[in-house]
Amino acid sequence: MTLRSAGPHHGQPVAHSGVAIERARSAMVLVHGRGDSAPGILQLADILPVPGMAYLAPQASGSTWYPNRFLAPIATNEPWLSSALDGLGDLLEQIEAVGVSPARTVLLGFSQGGCLALEFAVRHPRRYGALVGLSGGLIGPPGTVWPRAGSLDGTPVFLGCSDVDTHIPASRVMESAEVLRGVGGDVNAVLYPGMDHTVSQSEIEEVRRLVVPLGGEHTSVDRGGGRTGGIE
């Protein structure tokens, strides 16, 4: 698979592990942080093994989804941001086309990738298998008003971040939690005291709790019918 969106991320490759997507019962889209890579975040598949799951990680052009901080005015991150969001949408469409519904697809991102995953979900709310933002928050400067149309329809959501993260203000994490609750997400947001800008074992356990129910035997689908990053 590649990203078919227009703009800077057009044609970027998508790394894969786990079950072949054509035989998968469920899928996880993993979105890397600034300066990281698809193979880097795909290492999470090894510590979040789910039977019957395909793991797919798109690669950002230049290892960066957008150039400025996630708190910067939206226009300063264009056209990279729109290209990245459209690329995620295209990837989800490709996954659905081979028979894995959004309701069985997890959208997970870390750092800049976490911001991107959450922003995509609030702009395109529907029932997902789960939504996970690790050290991330919704994108936009203070005072941003996010869309409230549509519904996540009870999608399990986990937000985890340090309470002293130098890139992601704790206030934005909690604000993001409230916005996602407002569009029907079943949100659990946790601030970890003094944690670095990283993924903790406690966060892994929270994610595991959400994704294990999506496991199952491999099925034949009817096709007819490093994880670190700089500023966000």
Residues with catalytic function: 111, 165, 197
Could you give the CA distance from residue 114 to residue 128 in angstroms, rounded to a whole number? Answer: 15
184, 151 Cβ separation under 8 angstroms = yes
Which residue reads 């997507």 in tokens? 21
> Which runs of E-coded beta strand occur in the chain?
14-18, 26-31, 53-58, 105-110, 130-134, 156-162, 186-192
Dihedral Cα 138, 72, 41, 189, nearest 10 deg: -30
> Angle at which helices 112-123 and 170-182 pack, to 10 degrees?
20
